[in-house]
Amino acid sequence: MKIVILGAPGAGKGTQAKRIAEKYAVAHISTGDILRENIKAQTPLGIQAKGFMDNGQLVPDDLVVALVADRVQREDCKNGFLLDGFPRTIAQAEALDKIMPPDAVLNIDVDTSLLLKRLTGRRVCAKCGAPYHIDTLNGATSCSLCDGELIHRADDTEETVGARLKVYEAQTKPLIEYYQAKGKINDVDGTLAIEEVFAACCKVLDGLQ
Ligand SMILES: [Zn+2]
């Protein structure tokens, strides 16, 4: 089972990816994790990637592809894998099609205005990092776990979130079109409850087996 999962910041992609990986015993592969692992282990690819990052540059497509190609050969991918955060560009998608074409692409779809609401409403405990949302806080201003102060992070302001969502949309639209043309896109309504979104993902994945 070779799956790609797409979803905007705040769409709940990470939560779903984790559950899918558990249920289907496939490796959850996030590009961020692979980069960190390779840099830490000082592999040849990791050293190259670090060079670009240290210069404030993006890690080039061919290097990211090489890292992913290496990762999917590992033992924990014998049942398959779920790629999270890759591909990000058409060039990466084409490269992936050459080595390991995905069976399906899950697109966790959430309306931008709802994402804005979800993300700008986030509050985080300044002491222990526990996440909250103003919709469920009932006016509380301190952490229920450690009594720490709840803060609105600069990353979660409307301006920053709006900019992040625009970048995501511009980046992802061509990818969605690319996979649509191959009949591989499966839109999942990400506005539903976590359980329901998961059930919808499972329905798509069960259909592949
Ligand atoms: Zn706390």
Summarised one tens digit per residue, pLDDT across range 68-126 is 999 999 999 999 999 998 999 999 999 999 989 999 999 999 999 999 999 999 999 99
181 lies in some domain: yes
Q: Is the dihedral of CA 5, 65, 90, 207 positive or negative?
A: negative
Q: Taking Cα atoms as reference points, which of 99, 82, 73 lies closest to residue 29? A: 82
Distance 143 CA to ligand 1 centre (A): 4
pTM above 0.85, yes or no: yes
71 is catalytic: no
Containing H/E element for 31? helix 31-40
Question: Which pLDDT band, with edges at 50, 70 and 90, does 4 fall under?
Answer: very high
CA 4 to chain centre: 10
16 lies in some domain: yes
User: How confident is the model over 170-203, as pLDDT tens digits?
Assistant: 999 999 999 999 999 999 999 999 999 999 999 9
- Ligand 1 (ion): which residues have CB within 5 A? 125, 127-128, 130, 143, 145-146, 148
Question: Which pLDDT band, with edges at 50, 70 and 90, does 155 fall under?
Answer: confident
Distance 16 CA to ligand 1 centre (A): 25
Chain length of the chain: 209
> What's the CATH number where 191 sits?
3.40.50.300
Q: Are 3 and 205 in contact (CB under 8 A)?
A: yes
Catalytic option among 40, 153, 173, 182: 153
State how many domains the chain has. Answer: 1
